[in-house]
Structure 1
Amino acid sequence: MLKRLKEKSNDEKIRNTMNKRISFIFGIIVFIFAIIVLRLGYLQIAQGSHYKQMIKNSENLTVNEAVPRGRILDRNGKVLVDNASKKAITYARGRKTTPSEVLDIAKDLSKLIKMDTKKITERDKQDYWIQLHPNQAKELMKKEQTLLDDGSISQEDYDETLYKKIGKKQIDTLNSKDLQILAIYREMMSGSSLDPQTIKNEDVTDEEYAAVSQKLKELPGVNTTMDWDRKYPYGDTLRGIFGDVSTTEEGIPKELTEKYLAKGYSRNDRVGKSYLEYQYDDILKGKKKEMKYTTDKSGDVIDSKVISHGSRGDDLVLSIDVDLQKKTEEYLEKQISKLRSEGAKDMDNALMVVQNPNNGDILAMAGKQIDKNGNLTDYDIGTFTAQFAVGSSVKGGTLLAGYQNNAIKVGEEMIDQPLKFAGGLTKRSYFNQDGKVRINDKEALMHSSNVYMFKTALKLAGSPYTPNMSLPTDISDAGQKLRKGLNQVGLGVKTGIDLPNETNGQIEPLTDNPGNYLDLSIGQYDTYTPMQLSQYVSTIGNNGYRVQPHVGLEVRKATNKDTLGPVKEKFKGNVLNKVNNTPQQISEVQEGFKMAFNEKDGTGYQSFRNTEVPSAGKTGTAEVFQDGKPRVNSTYIGYAPIKNPKLAFSIVYTNQPVPEPWLNGGDLGRDVINYYFKEKSKD
């Protein structure tokens, strides 16, 4: 019995001990739980509004950082425009960073880098002096401050007076060290908050780049990165056609602000300003890097995260063949030199366009402006922005207009002779000054008969030629019909080339000026661009289809390597219209073009009689004036081979001497044809 009581007593002791331990542990758990509940209550009730305000004050802002532009390549994949990387130092100002805080960073940064101070303006120096000497500035303006306080003057008047009082005496107190700080400070303050601004990206030394990189933690908002500039592996070749990109300092040019801002650009973005860079900016600009900055209630950045790493712009492949382009330029300069040596001392422009007549691909476009000393300036853009009187080259278009309006028929013969009108006016052909020659339409093109075109124009006006007749007084309807025919082949209308600033030439009204109407029929009234001439001769060569010319060929997706990515988009030459002529009528003009280049009496025979493949075309001479003195513009248009042409061209030389002697510039077209069908065929 005693033994059982003893055992029971031991069990109770053990049980009591366990119960105490469990109670202790449970008490600790309850205590911890109570602390947690109290803490949560404190945070939610007592501090809830505080943390809500912190969340409200913490804003997520997305800021874009620029990336390199896409490359521009020729049709064979040769890089024409690329990017050259360079070191850069940037600064992104916090939303509530004060000017004095920015100035402190600028002072620290001035110990690490050296700046060019040439961009500092007088106003920059005045503003900086005010910031350095606020008390002295107030002392200068005691009287004005009183007037400002009582409303006698405006803040604008106050500021204007202050700047007038801060003159050379005050500015000269700024030493070279101050100017270094100011040069940095003005760049840091140039943009909006959290938008990275370039402080220095020219001639950043390795030592400067390393020194700043090591001090980034002590320079809030400052960063070291890589910037880029456009580089041109082929030098000045097509440099004008490529156009320009704005600098980091320039950002969006003022005249383009509205256009680019509407597309979502930032004001400090580097954008295409002209020609191809402008035309294809959406493709070349790339996708910018996106950073997400989180700021606290003070506006200080407390966290940042990369949302998108971005990518450089897509590559633009051109229809241009850079080897052909270089050869065209070489032959053009050679021809200029030859013509000047033969007497063309006043020639001031020489331009050429080479294209595929079937699809509108521009293969080469070269232009030179020539000064009195024979110095050459690139003028490639003149092939579509400058217009000239082009002379007899247009006569194929005149015949097509005559056919369209039933003024003449295919194969129709006429007598080429001096035309005499009432009042003593006489019009004649250059090849036949005094005689009578029976010719048909093809021969009219071969000989470049003015008379045949005049008679065609008079028939179009409903007044066939008779000796000593009066010219028709109202030629508005006839002028419209003739121009409509010329428009159909591309003369007098924009070609639609994918480059800005194209002109459609100078097209003056035609109502009661019949002399000008007759001149229009031989290319002596309206003016045209070399690009229009190229489109026109291509329309003849491809059996009557006016095709839109283009220099953009395709877009290739950007890659991380120098290789071309997959094709994203292709550009094709759209057919703008089909001429309103029968195949027989078009063939008749083609035959006349063939004769002009291949028959002994043809105006282009001297240069084109023996090209690598048979060619066809037309020549022209327009009477013009330069500084009040008579000159001529010489033009050549053509295509090759005669059947199923693969290449078409136009050439314009302006202000050559009045014949005689006759200066032949057609060898340029011959050389390009021979190179293309001989040398390029080897490739």
Structure 2
Amino acid sequence: MLRRLKKESNELRQKRTTQRRLNVLFIAVMTLMTLLILRLGYLQIVKSEDYKKAVASNENIVINESVPRGRIYDRNGKLLVDNTAKKSITYTRGRMTTTYELLDTAKKLSKIINMPTDKLTDMDKETYFIQTHPEVVEKLMTKESEQFQNDMITQQQYDDILYKKIAPRVKLSKKELEIAAIYREMSAGSQLTPQTIKNEHVTEKEYALVSQNLAKLPGINTTMDWDRKYLYGNTLKTLFGKVTSKEEGLPKDNIDYYLARGYARNDRVGQSYLEYEYEDVLRGQKKKMRYVTDKSGQITSSEIIDPGSRGNDLVLSIDIELQQKIEKMIDKHIAILRSEGAKTMDKVLVVVQDPNNGDVLALAGRQIELNGRISDYHYGTFTSQYAVGSSVKGATLLTGYHQNAIKPGEEMVDEPMSFAGGMTKRSYFNQDGKITINDKEALMHSSNVYMFKTALKIAGMNYSQGMSLPKDISEAGRILRTGMNQFGLGVKTGIDLPNEVVGQSGKLTDNAGNYLDLAIGQYDTYTPLQLSQYISTIANDGSRISPHVVKEIRTPSKTETLGPVKEVVNGKVLNKINSTPTEMRQVKSGFDMVFNQIEGTGYNSFHNTTVKSAGKTGTAEVFQNGEPRVNATYIGYAPEDKPEISFSIIYSNQPVPPPWLPGGDLGRDIINSYFSTKK
């Protein structure tokens, strides 16, 4: 009986234990089920949109592809820069594409195209060899692999040793070199970004074969690429600027800037001058492609969702026919001047513009080597600076008027000047005598002495023989230099091109001789474009206007004609000259005498132009390789009464006169050509 009770008791105990265990298991299962349901609810309700977007982004990727840039026209609608289409073979790498798959596609592609191998480097060849000969790598690097696994050497050290050991063993056949060249281009691209494999000399047969075998060549595509085409050859080509190639892609020094603005690393962008300055206008609206990928990241299909459009077009203020004529004139006058002794002359720079609105009609520059070889230097018109001599004297007089230092028509004695300490100054036209002249005659004769005395008056001093010059000339120097700046001399002109230089301005503190030289253009240096802005400011009676080479921005047209005007680019009035009409007329009258009075320094070249012209000449003493030389300058405008064009000309490093070379004849020919064409 006792044993039976005990047995029942044990059975009951076991049942209770089993029941408790089942209860715990049931609770655990229910808890897990509840958590699972809650998790599923969270994923389906709370995170549903996020995961939908993630799936969409994995399966539908939108990639921007580059389009041709905008065209560039001259002011008369003549096409200067266009795009020429060329066949291109590209590769778009998937997200999960392996090196083996890259090599496999490269091998297949090599069977149907001829791939240039001239860009392959030794490292490219070694990399290809390493990828295709793993057994050789394993045998060579047994020791180093063990060291790397045990953290005894770094990845960089391992790679350095590997490439050093592999280099002597790399021997590739012609076909292997082609595969290596294709592999090099394919592996250079970013994921899901089209990378150009070949776009030079793609034959019709190659293009057709690749197009027919796209299904067997994952990631490969055929498309049309473009190159810039210059319809007027080298004319202004340097000024148009460069565009990076597919290989160069984004400039390394500005890569973050471009990436932040939606560019891809291999996009082509303007690299210099107009192409760079107007990149946002010329770049165009990219073509948008949608790539569909599978779960492994491989591209399964693609479609165009936005064909994009080429960039907006630029209409320049430049007249291409005038530009070409001026370039020919420059070359002609270089030959003439060299035949008359100007063998050391190394640059000729010309700017022609409309003084009333800032339109630049022509920018032309030439560099000349000692052997007479000539090359383009158009950008030198705003990126190089020179001492320009007496051409600045109109600005000196107008500054003197403004400071009440002199009055229009005021007479002074032109005479040799001497100062305490032995310094002497004189005018070229009057070496020894005393001649009374007024301000207009001072311009006509190019009197240095009149300008020196004007500068002294600005400093609050009247000249007397043997006088001492002040030790501190800084305030007078600031006033005179500011007066020059008002005309655009020594400051940026505001042209719509990069890399414009200001010129050099030396210190004007304790050297009064430098201050006097500033008054005759013999101290600070200026650009040809600054000279042009200065003479234009006088020609239009006192408005300093920013020059510009772009006149209009036009939306792209599907035909060969210009599209609608999107934006008109006007020159901005930067400042007005603080001169009275009487003061401005006085200087312009002096400029008239320079060109049209027989005693004027520009008379020989300009007195018989097609329309009456006015202006100023200058000669600055400089040194070239330690030898004395001169810069000859000419500025002017025409017609004299209602100017339509203004110009500046600089010849650098001519031989010291005599003889005086007929450099002004180039200015005469520019005026005559412009107005005869207009008629």
Say whether 1:514 aligns with 2:529: no
C-alpha distance in 1 between matches for 2:544 and 2:260: 34
User: How far 1:263 moved relative to its partner?
Assistant: 2.2
User: How far 1:506 moved relative to its partner?
Assistant: 0.5
Where do residues 432-447 of structure 1 align in structure 2 (5 Å cutoff)?
A: 432-447=430-445
Structure 2's unaligned 5+ residue stretches are 1-39
Q: Percent identity?
A: 64
C-alpha distance in 2 between matches for 1:545 and 1:620: 23
Q: Choose the corresponding residue for 1:460, options 434, 441, 458.
A: 458
User: How far 1:453 moved relative to its partner?
Assistant: 0.2
C-alpha distance in 2 between matches for 1:656 and 1:58: 69
Indicate how the Cα distance of structure 1 residues 310 and 457 shifts in structure 2: closer, same or farther if over 3 A, else same: same
2:293 aligns with 295
Indicate how the Cα distance of structure 1 residues 56 and 657 shifts in structure 2: closer, same or farther if over 3 A, else same: closer
**What is the DSSP-based 3-state SS (H/G/I as helix, E as strand, rest coil) of the residue aligned with 1:166?**
helix
1:621 aligns with 619
Where do residues 59-78 of structure 1 align in structure 2 (5 Å cutoff)?
A: 59-78=59-78
User: How far 1:57 moved relative to its partner?
Assistant: 7.8
1:394 aligns with 392
C-alpha distance in 2 between matches for 1:306 and 1:56: 17
C-alpha distance in 2 between matches for 1:253 and 1:324: 34
1:566 aligns with 564
CA RMSD in angstroms comes to 1.6
2:136 aligns with 136
> What are the Cα deviations for residues 219-241 of structure 1, in whole angstroms up to 9, with x where unaligned?
11111111111111111101110
Where do residues 342-361 of structure 1 align in structure 2 (5 Å cutoff)?
A: 342-361=340-359
User: How far 1:304 moved relative to its partner?
Assistant: 2.5
Structure 1, 253-262 or 399-408: larger mean CA deviation: 253-262
**What is the DSSP-based 3-state SS (H/G/I as helix, E as strand, rest coil) of the residue aligned with 2:421?**
coil
Where do residues 373-522 of structure 1 align in structure 2 (5 Å cutoff)?
A: 373-522=371-520
Letter in 1 for 2:100: S
User: How far 1:148 moved relative to its partner?
Assistant: 1.4
Length-normalised TM-score, structure 2: 0.92
2:157 aligns with 157
C-alpha distance in 2 between matches for 1:407 and 1:299: 81
- Structure 1 contact 463–472 (Cα < 8 Å) conserved: no
Letter in 2 for 1:102: L
Indicate how the Cα distance of structure 1 residues 379 and 167 shifts in structure 2: closer, same or farther if over 3 A, else same: same
Letter in 2 for 1:171: V
**What is the DSSP-based 3-state SS (H/G/I as helix, E as strand, rest coil) of the residue aligned with 1:189?**
helix
Q: Choose the corresponding residue for 1:277, options 275, 278, 283.
A: 275
C-alpha distance in 2 between matches for 1:388 and 1:341: 24
**What is the DSSP-based 3-state SS (H/G/I as helix, E as strand, rest coil) of the residue aligned with 1:192?**
coil
2:24 aligns with none
**What is the DSSP-based 3-state SS (H/G/I as helix, E as strand, rest coil) of the residue aligned with 1:167?**
helix
C-alpha distance in 2 between matches for 1:575 and 1:243: 27
Letter in 2 for 1:606: N
User: How far 1:55 moved relative to its partner?
Assistant: 4.1
User: How far 1:86 moved relative to its partner?
Assistant: 0.8
2:10 aligns with none
C-alpha distance in 2 between matches for 1:201 and 1:355: 41
> What are the Cα deviations for residues 71-97 of structure 1, in whole angstroms up to 9, with x where unaligned?
111000111111111111111111111
User: How far 1:472 moved relative to its partner?
Assistant: 1.6
Letter in 2 for 1:295: T
Letter in 1 for 2:580: T
Length-normalised TM-score, structure 1: 0.91
User: How far 1:408 moved relative to its partner?
Assistant: 0.6
**What is the DSSP-based 3-state SS (H/G/I as helix, E as strand, rest coil) of the residue aligned with 1:365?**
strand
2:545 aligns with 547
Letter in 1 for 2:193: D
Indicate how the Cα distance of structure 1 residues 331 and 478 shifts in structure 2: closer, same or farther if over 3 A, else same: same
1:21 aligns with none
1:22 aligns with none
C-alpha distance in 1 between matches for 2:560 and 2:269: 22
> What are the Cα deviations for residues 438-483 of structure 1, in whole angstroms up to 9, with x where unaligned?
1101110011000000000011111210001111211100000000
C-alpha distance in 2 between matches for 1:544 and 1:262: 43
2:170 aligns with 171
Say whether 1:633 aligns with 2:631: yes
Letter in 2 for 1:227: D
> What are the Cα deviations for residues 292-332 of structure 1, in whole angstroms up to 9, with x where unaligned?
12222110223423221000111100000000000110111
- Structure 1 contact 461–472 (Cα < 8 Å) conserved: no
- Structure 1 contact 446–602 (Cα < 8 Å) conserved: yes
Letter in 2 for 1:180: E
C-alpha distance in 2 between matches for 1:312 and 1:520: 50
**What is the DSSP-based 3-state SS (H/G/I as helix, E as strand, rest coil) of the residue aligned with 2:505?**
coil
**What is the DSSP-based 3-state SS (H/G/I as helix, E as strand, rest coil) of the residue aligned with 1:537?**
helix
User: How far 1:146 moved relative to its partner?
Assistant: 1.5
C-alpha distance in 2 between matches for 1:119 and 1:517: 57
Structure 1's unaligned 5+ residue stretches are 1-43
C-alpha distance in 2 between matches for 1:262 and 1:400: 49
**What is the DSSP-based 3-state SS (H/G/I as helix, E as strand, rest coil) of the residue aligned with 2:188?**
coil
> What are the Cα deviations for residues 647-672 of structure 1, in whole angstroms up to 9, with x where unaligned?
00000001111111111200111111
Q: Choose the corresponding residue for 2:670, options 662, 666, 672.
A: 672
Say whether 1:205 aligns with 2:203: yes
Letter in 1 for 2:359: D
